[in-house]
Amino acid sequence: MTDFDSPADYWAWHDANGYSRLINVSGTMTGLGGSIVRRSTRMATEAAMGRFVKIHELQARGSDVISRLTGAEAGCITASAAAGITLCVAGCMTGLDPARVEALPCSPGAKSEVAVQMGHLCGYGAPISVAVELAGARVRTVGQSTLAMDYQLEAALTEQTAAALYVVSHHVVHYGQIPLARFVEIAHARGVPVIVDAASEYDLTGFIAAGADLVIYSGQKFLGGPTAGIIAGTRDLIRATYLQNTGIGRGLKVGKESIAGAIAAMEAWLERDHAGIRAEETAALDRWQAVLDGRPGIQAVKVPDPTGNPLERLQVQVDPATASGNAAGYARALADRNPAVIVRDHEVELGYFQLDPCNLAPGQMEMVAEALAEVFDGSADRGRLDADCSSARNGGIDGYLNWLA
């Protein structure tokens, strides 16, 4: 939930600039702007923009807050979580050697492979392999997409291995993968550091506690800060990661305003009323579920987050033989409204979409309930509600290809 004073306060910016009104029940998605930044964080960002500051001092302050938040020895802030992957990989390759930093990505050296389970080579708007390769590293695939075994990781860790990357995301395969504790144990037995991509995770302490050497979070997702990547880890590897700002990291640099905003967002997280926010989110799910209950061909159930974040979503399963359309069609009908209701549709080909309550602004819980009632009452004909699922699957690239076309 947000700290806007009223629905009119929330929509004023959209209306003044001619932007489409939308209600985000998809989640903390980059294509929708990540999350809503709280007033205190916006004020910290604004304050930094009007002043000069020594960036090393600001980053040192960020390191202190990251340590308090995660239990890590140190931390730093970069442009995004994706940038964090690239910089962490580079740091594991170069250590604190400035000459090696400047040699990337064209001359990565002998130790330039990164082991990743095949089931973790997901797309999050871009292939995760690209974030690794931007550092000049090569991906060393472990196992098959649905099965990775201990011996396969052991065989992939050689004298050429710079790091092992573990991805925590709803996009990865959720069975048949080496669990993190075992992944760390195997990697550390070979002297290989472990990087964890935990961009959209609530758990800010567990990965460090499990032995990860570097952990990457998104500043603009659950933390509710500006666009930034937050990196926590061992002091030596954080220093090596930060040193990349003299090389490939220069193009991934973060400004003073985003560093200050990320610090404010982390400090706010330490005092956040997590239980109260969860209660508000649950109330929204209950309201939407009540609207959908009893409708022919529609089953609405609460489902837990697949990576263990402390939240639920409402999964709306659609039987096209009984309902007035399919899941993709209902998702499109909701998105065609004004305000557009953007649902979580990345698995719509399986016959369902989800409603995520974590980014609601004032009045939007009821607006979503009204939209659900109107769309599922059959206000649109069957032709409109039977949609090609490929539009959701290809939507990410289509948005770029159609931009300014």
Q: For the segment 102-116, what is each residue's pLDDT rounded down to a tens digit?
A: 999 999 999 999 999
Tell me which of 2.30.42.10, 3.90.1150.180, 3.30.70.20, 3.10.450.50 is the CATH number of domain 7-33+273-401: 3.90.1150.180
Closest CA to 133 of 159, 165, 176: 165
Contact 287, 281 (CB under 8 A): no
For residue 184, count other CB atoms closer than 10 A to its CB.
22
Residues in the chain: 405
At residue 379, the pLDDT reads 53
Averaged pLDDT for residues 80-91:
98
Residue 207 clears pLDDT 90, i.e. is over it: yes
Model pLDDT for residues 6-34, shown as the tens digit of each residue: 888 899 999 999 999 999 999 999 889 98
Residue 2 pLDDT: 59
Better-predicted residue by pLDDT, 110 or 2: 110
pLDDT of residue 386: 63
pLDDT for position 387 = 65
Residue 317 pairs in a beta bridge with: 299, 352
Least confident of 175-189, 228-242, 337-351, 379-393: 379-393
What mean pLDDT is predicted for residues 72-84?
Answer: 98
pLDDT in the model for residue 4? 78
Partnered with residue 161 across adjacent β-strands are 113
Q: In 3-state terms, what secondary structure has residue 164?
A: strand
Dihedral Cα 261, 267, 272, 278, nearest 10 deg: 60
Q: Which two tokens stand for residue 357?
A: 């309550």
User: Which tens digits make up the pLDDT trace of 221-277?
Assistant: 999 999 999 999 999 999 999 999 999 999 999 999 999 999 999 999 999 999 999
Residue 324 has pLDDT above 90, yes or no: no
Taking the model in full, what pTM does it have?
A: 0.93
Burial of 147 (0-12, 13-18, 19+ CB in 10 A): middle
- Look at residue 383 in the predicted model and tell me its pLDDT: 45
Q: Which segments of the chain belong to CATH 3.40.640.10?
A: 39-270
pLDDT of residue 144: 97
Strands 113-117, 161-167: parallel, antiparallel or unpaired by DSSP?
Answer: parallel
Pick the CATH number of 39-270 from 3.40.640.10, 3.40.50.1460, 1.10.287.610, 3.40.50.10540: 3.40.640.10
**Average pLDDT value over all residues in the chain:** 94
pLDDT for res 398: 85
Residue with tokens 């064209």: 106
pLDDT at residue 100, as a whole number: 98
Question: What's the whole-number mean pLDDT along residues 78-98?
Answer: 98
pLDDT beyond 70 at 54: yes
Each residue's pLDDT tens digit, 171-199: 999 999 999 999 999 999 999 999 999 99
Q: What is the pLDDT of residue 288?
A: 98
